[in-house]
C-alpha cells in the first residue's frame, strides 16, 4: 500500500487522520491512473456521490470516491451489495487496480513516485504540502466540475451516446457533451418546445417507433449542431410550422412511415443545409394543402424521396411531382373590416372621375352628402367634399362627358342637383327638382337609352309621382311621370332581351314592369311579377349572360328569380328578418348577395356554380343596414355597408390561399 505519511511531532489525532487521507489521495494521484483536473492521464468519469441533492455531473478523479479514504462505516454485508453499489455508477471509472497497490509508489514510467519520496525521508514540510493537496480535494463541490449522472434504467449509455427503449420522458440529467440520442418505443404523446435544449452537443437524434402524434413549434430549439434527425415509424399527424426552426446545420431529415397527410407551408424554410429529405410511407393528400410542397419540390436543391398521393381519388398512388393542376378550391374569399366611418348613413354610391374613385354617402342625421376619395398613400377613404342639406336620403352621381353631377334627394326642402366646379374644387348647386312632383324620394336610378341619359326618382308618398328626368345638354328636366298613388319604394332599369324596361316596386301592389316604346319614346305598362306583394326593392344582375332579379321583403322570404326568355321564375327563397335590402354584387368571378337585417346579423351569400344556387357564406354585423355597395380601386375590392343606427363599415374582399 506504500509508505504512510509521518506526522510532525506533537500532531494530534486530526492531523494523523488528515495526513492518512492525503497520503492515499497522493498515491492514487501520482500512480499514473488519475490526473486531477484533466482527462488525458486517466481522467475518466468519477463515481457517483450525492451532494446536497444537486444534479449529477462530471468530477475530477482525484476528488472521486475511489481516490478518497473511506470514512468509518460498517463494512458491506455481502459481495452482492458491493456489486449493486458499482452498478449505480455505470459511467464511473474502475477503482485503482492491483498495480496501483504494488508499484511501491512509483510513477507511470517506473520513476520514483510521491510515496517513494516519502519513504526516503519526507519531512514535515512535505507532509504539510500533501495535507494541502488532500484538503483541495475536500473543497465544496459547487466549485468543482459537475459529476456524471446515473444512466436511466430504460437506457444504455456511453460517454457520447444514449439509447433509450420504452421511455416516457427524455433523459435530462446527462453529460453535456452527449452527441447521439436515440429514443425508441417511447410512450410520450408529443414533442414539446425545447424538449432537447439541454443537449446542445447533439449531432444525431433518432426518434423511432414512438407514440407521439404532434411536433410543436421550436421542438428542437437549442440543437445548433444537429446534423441528422430521424423521425420514423411514429404516429405523427401534425407538425407545427416552426417545428424545425433553428436547425441551420441539419443535413439529413427523415419523416418516413408516419401518419402525415399534410405539411404546413414553409416548414423546411430554416433548413439551409438540408441535403436529403425522406417523406416515404406517409398518406399525403395532394389537394390544395400540398400545393406549396409541390412548388417547393420543384425549386429545392435537396434530394427528396418520392411523395406518393393517397388522395383525392384521381391522384391516388400518383407522385406529387406528377400532379398537373390543383383544384380551384385551393383559394377562397373572405370579408374583413378595413375601415369604420363614425357616422350613420342610408345610401352609398360610387363613381370614377379622372382615374380616381369617389364615394357619395347620404347622412340624414347629419344632413350631409359626404363625398369620399381614395387615398393612394394611406390606403383608405378620406373626406373630399361635403354637400349640406335637410334630411338627405340619397346621393346619386351622374357623369356626362367630363362633368360630374350629384342628385341629392331630400325629405324636406326639395331635392337638388349639384355640379362639381373645378375652379372651386367642390360641388355647387346646379339645379332644383320641383317639389310638386317629388315629395318623398326613396330611390334614384340612373340609366341610358340610345346614348341619352336619364334618371328616375321613385316617390313613396301617396301624393308623389315617380318621375323620369332627362338630360338636354343644359340641364335635367322632367320627362315622364309614371303611375300615381302607388307609393313606390324602388325603381330598377333592366335590359331584357335587348329591350329597355323599368321595374317599379311598391307597398300597395306587386312589382310592375314598364317597357320602353321606341315610337313614343315613353315607358308603357308591360306586365308584372305575380305573387310578390310588399316588395321593398328590386335589383337586377347577370351571371354568365343570364339575367336574374333579387326582390327584397322585410318579413317573410326574399326571392331570387331568373329570366327564362318568357318570364321571371323563382329559383330560391331567402328567409328575411327585418330586411330592407337584398343587394347583388360581384368581384371578378365571385358573385354574392348581401341580405340585410334589422334584428340579427346580416348574411352574405355566395353563388354555387355546381348547385346553381346561393349558399350561406359569411355573417356580418351592421346595425340597421340600408344599402350595400361594391367599390374597387388600386386592385383592391371593398364593400360598403351603410347603417341607419350605427357606424358605417367598409369591408375588404380578400383572397385566402388555403394552401398556407
Of 78, 111, 143, at which residue does a domain stop?
A: 143
Lowest mean pLDDT among 105-109, 217-221, 231-235: 105-109
What is the average per-residue pLDDT within 48-71? 37
Residues 174 and 51 in one domain: no
Q: Say how far apart CA 285 and CA 509 lie, in whole Å.
A: 56
Count the domains in the chain.
3
Lowest mean pLDDT among 449-458, 478-487, 547-556: 478-487
**Structural domain includes residue 122:** yes
What is the average per-residue pLDDT within 362-376? 96
Residues 96 and 159 in one domain: no
Which pLDDT score is estimated for 328? 58
**Structural domain includes residue 567:** yes
Residues 236 and 138 in one domain: no
Q: Residue 393: which of 460, 470, 468 has the closest Cα?
A: 460
For residue 68, what is the DSSP state?
S
User: CATH number for the domain including 546?
Assistant: 2.120.10.30
Lowest mean pLDDT among 75-79, 271-275, 299-303, 481-485: 75-79
- Which one has a higher pLDDT value, 437 or 349? 349
Tell me the backbone φ, ψ of residue 168, rounded to 5 degrees: -105, 5
Burial 296-330 (b: 16+ CB within 10 A, else e): bbeeeebebeebbbeeeeebeeeebeebeebeeeb
Residue 394 pLDDT > 50: yes
Reduced to 3 states, what is the DSSP secondary structure of residue 98? helix
**Structural domain includes residue 450:** no
Domain limits at 649?
A: 328-342+529-660
Which pLDDT score is estimated for 377? 96
Backbone region of residue 612 per phi and psi (left: phi > 0; alpha: psi in -120 to 50; beta: other values):
left
pLDDT digits 0-9 by tens, 421-436: 999 999 999 999 988 8
Residues 655 and 559 in one domain: yes
Residues 68 and 159 in one domain: no
Sign of the CA dihedral running 42, 45, 50, 54: positive
Residue 391 pLDDT > 80: yes
pLDDT digits 0-9 by tens, 116-153: 443 444 444 444 334 434 444 444 444 343 444 678 88
Residue 397 pLDDT > 90: yes
What is the average per-residue pLDDT within 541-569? 96
Q: How confident is the model at residue 107 (pLDDT cuts 50, 70, 90)?
A: very low
Q: Say how far apart CA 572 and CA 613 lie, in whole Å.
A: 7
For residue 65, what is the DSSP state?
G
* Spatial contact of 564 and 516, defined as CB atoms under 8 Å apart: no
Q: Say how far apart CA 514 and CA 502 lie, in whole Å.
A: 5
Share above pLDDT 70 across residues of the chain, in percent, rounded to a whole number: 76
**Structural domain includes residue 541:** yes
Residue 320, all three cell numbers: 406529387
Residue 212 pLDDT > 60: yes
Of 90, 112, 143, at which residue does a domain stop?
A: 143
Residue 548, all three cell numbers: 336574374
pTM above 0.85, yes or no: no
Residues 133 and 94 in one domain: yes
Which pLDDT score is estimated for 149? 62
Secondary structure E strands in 450-536? 452-459, 465-471, 476-484, 488-496, 499-506, 512-517, 522-528
Per the document, the length of the chain is 660
Residue 606, all three cell numbers: 355566395
Residue 16 pLDDT > 80: no
Residues 132 and 25 in one domain: yes
Which pLDDT score is estimated for 10? 44
* Spatial contact of 291 and 267, defined as CB atoms under 8 Å apart: no
Residues 138 and 217 in one domain: no
Which pLDDT score is estimated for 322? 87
Q: How confident is the model at residue 38 (pLDDT cuts 50, 70, 90)?
A: very low
Residues 112 and 185 in one domain: no
Residue 536 pLDDT > 90: yes
**Structural domain includes residue 468:** no
End-to-end alpha carbon distance in the chain: 74
Q: Say how far apart CA 279 and CA 286 lie, in whole Å.
A: 14
Residues 19 and 135 in one domain: yes
| Pairing, β 625-633 against β 522-528 | unpaired
Angle between helices 124-136 and 13-30 (to 10 degrees): 80
**Structural domain includes residue 372:** no
**Structural domain includes residue 477:** no
Q: How many CB atoms lie within 10 A of CB 266?
A: 12
Q: Say how far apart CA 214 and CA 216 lie, in whole Å.
A: 6
Q: How many CB atoms lie within 10 A of CB 344?
A: 21
| Sheet containing strand 380-388, strands side by side | 347-353, 356-363, 368-375, 380-388
Q: How many CB atoms lie within 10 A of CB 42?
A: 16
Reduced to 3 states, what is the DSSP secondary structure of residue 333? strand
Contacts of 610 (CB under 8 A, 6+ apart): none
Residue 103 pLDDT > 90: no
Of 143, 163, 191, at which residue does a domain stop?
A: 143
Lowest mean pLDDT among 49-58, 320-329, 384-393: 49-58
User: What one-character-per-residue DSSP string does 120-185 give?
Assistant: TT--HHHHHHHHHHHHHTTS-GGGSPPPPPPPPTTEEE-SSEEEEES-SS---SS-TT--EEEEES
Residues 120 and 24 in one domain: yes
**Structural domain includes residue 633:** yes
Tell me the backbone φ, ψ of residue 615, rounded to 5 degrees: -115, 155
Q: Say how far apart CA 70 and CA 151 lie, in whole Å.
A: 25
Residue 309: CA atoms inside 13 Å, Cβ hemisphere, count?
23
Mean pLDDT over the full length of the chain: 82
Residues 51 and 178 in one domain: no
Q: How confident is the model at residue 439 (pLDDT cuts 50, 70, 90)?
A: confident
Distances from the Cα of 496 to the Cα of 449, 522, 548, angstroms? 13, 16, 10
User: CATH number for the domain including 206?
Assistant: 3.80.10.10
pLDDT digits 0-9 by tens, 495-533: 999 999 999 999 878 999 999 999 999 999 999 999 998
- Which one has a higher pLDDT value, 5 or 602? 602
Q: Say how far apart CA 303 and CA 279 lie, in whole Å.
A: 11
Amino acid at each position: 500500500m506504500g509508505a504512510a505519511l509521518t506526522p510532525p511531532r506533537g500532531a494530534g489525532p486530526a492531523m494523523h487522520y488528515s495526513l492518512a487521507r492525503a497520503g492515499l489521495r497522493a498515491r492514487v494521484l501520482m500512480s499514473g491512473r488519475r490526473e486531477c483536473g484533466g482527462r488525458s492521464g486517466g481522467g475518466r468519469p468519477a463515481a457517483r456521490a450525492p451532494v446536497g441533492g444537486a444534479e449529477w455531473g462530471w468530477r475530477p478523479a482525484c476528488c472521486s470516491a475511489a481516490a478518497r479514504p473511506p470514512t468509518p462505516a460498517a463494512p458491506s454485508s455481502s459481495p452482492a451489495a458491493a456489486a449493486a453499489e458499482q452498478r449505480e455508477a455505470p459511467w464511473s471509472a474502475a477503482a485503482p487496480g492491483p498495480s496501483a497497490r504494488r508499484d511501491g509508489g512509483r510513477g507511470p514510467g517506473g520513476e520514483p513516485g510521491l510515496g517513494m519520496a516519502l519513504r526516503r525521508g519526507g519531512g514535515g514540510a512535505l507532509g504539510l504540502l500533501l495535507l494541502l493537496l488532500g484538503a483541495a480535494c475536500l473543497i465544496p463541490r459547487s466549485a468543482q466540475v459537475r459529476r456524471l449522472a446515473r444512466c436511466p434504467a430504460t437506457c444504455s449509455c456511453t460517454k457520447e451516446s444514449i439509447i433509450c427503449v420504452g421511455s416516457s420522458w427524455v433523459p435530462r440529467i446527462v453529460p453535456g457533451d452527449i452527441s447521439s440520442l436515440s429514443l425508441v418505443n417511447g410512450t410520450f404523446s408529443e414533442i414539446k418546445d425545447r424538449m432537447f435544449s439541454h443537449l446542445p452537443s447533439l449531432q444525431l437524434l433518432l426518434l423511432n417507433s414512438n407514440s407521439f402524434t404532434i411536433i410543436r413549434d421550436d421542438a428542437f430549439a437549442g440543437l445548433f449542431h444537429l446534423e441528422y434527425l430521424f423521425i420514423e415509424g411514429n404516429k405523427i399527424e401534425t407538425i407545427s410550422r416552426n417545428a424545425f426552426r433553428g436547425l441551420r446545420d441539419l443535413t439529413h431529415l427523415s419523416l418516413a412511415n408516419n401518419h402525415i397527410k399534410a405539411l404546413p407551408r414553409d416548414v423546411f424554410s430554416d433548413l439551409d443545409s438540408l441535403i436529403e429529405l425522406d417523406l416515404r410511407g406517409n398518406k399525403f393528400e395532394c389537394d390544395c394543402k400540398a400545393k406549396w410542397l409541390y412548388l417547393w419540390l420543384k425549386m429545392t436543391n435537396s434530394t427528396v424521396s418520392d411523395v406518393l398521393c393517397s388522395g383525392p381519388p384521381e391522384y391516388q398512388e400518383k407522385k406529387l411531382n406528377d400532379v398537373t393542376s390543383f383544384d380551384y378550391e385551393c383559394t377562397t374569399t373572405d370579408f374583413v373590416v378595413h375601415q369604420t366611418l363614425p357616422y350613420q348613413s342610408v345610401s352609398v354610391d360610387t363613381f370614377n372621375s379622372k382615374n380616381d374613385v369617389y364615394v357619395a354617402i347620404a347622412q340624414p342625421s347629419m344632413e350631409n352628402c359626404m363625398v369620399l376619395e381614395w387615398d393612394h398613400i394611406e390606403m383608405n377613404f378620406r373626406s373630399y367634399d361635403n354637400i349640406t342639406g335637410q334630411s338627405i336620403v340619397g346621393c346619386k352621381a351622374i357623369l356626362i362627358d367630363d362633368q360630374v353631377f350629384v342628385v341629392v334627394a331630400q325629405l324636406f326642402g326639395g331635392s337638388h342637383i349639384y355640379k362639381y366646379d373645378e375652379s372651386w374644387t367642390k360641388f355647387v348647386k346646379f339645379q332644383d327638382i320641383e317639389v310638386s312632383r317629388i315629395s318623398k324620394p326613396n330611390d334614384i336610378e340612373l340609366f341610358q337609352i340610345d346614348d341619352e341619359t336619364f334618371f328616375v326618382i321613385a316617390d313613396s308618398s301617396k301624393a308623389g309621382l315617380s318621375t323620369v328626368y332627362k338630360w338636354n345638354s343644359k340641364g335635367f328636366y322632367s320627362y315622364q311621370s309614371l303611375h300615381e298613388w302607388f307609393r313606390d319604394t324602388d325603381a330598377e332599369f333592366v335590359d331584357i332581351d335587348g329591350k329597355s324596361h323599368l321595374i317599379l316596386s311598391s307597398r300597395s301592389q306587386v312589382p310592375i314592369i314598364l317597357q320602353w316604346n321606341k315610337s313614343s319614346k315613353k315607358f308603357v305598362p308591360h306586365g308584372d311579377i305575380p305573387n310578390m306583394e310588399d316588395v321593398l326593392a328590386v335589383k337586377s344582375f347577370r351571371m354568365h349572360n343570364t339575367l336574374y332579379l333579387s326582390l327584397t321583403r322585410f318579413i317573410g322570404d326574399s326571392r331570387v328569380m331568373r329570366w327564362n326568355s318568357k318570364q321571371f321564375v323563382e329559383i330560391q327563397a331567402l328567409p328575411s328578418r327585418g330586411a330592407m335590402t337584398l343587394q347583388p354584387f360581384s368581384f371578378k368571378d365571385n358573385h354574392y348577395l348581401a341580405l340585410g337585417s334589422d334584428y340579427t346579423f346580416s348574411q352574405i351569400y355566395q353563388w354555387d356554380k355546381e348547385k346553381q344556387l346561393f349558399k350561406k357564406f359569411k355573417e356580418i354585423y351592421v346595425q340597421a343596414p340600408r344599402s350595400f355597395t361594391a367599390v374597387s380601386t388600386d386592385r383592391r375590392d371593398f364593400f360598403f355597408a351603410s347603417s341607419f343606427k350605427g357606424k358605417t363599415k367598409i369591408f375588404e374582399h380578400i383572397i385566402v390561399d388555403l394552401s398556407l
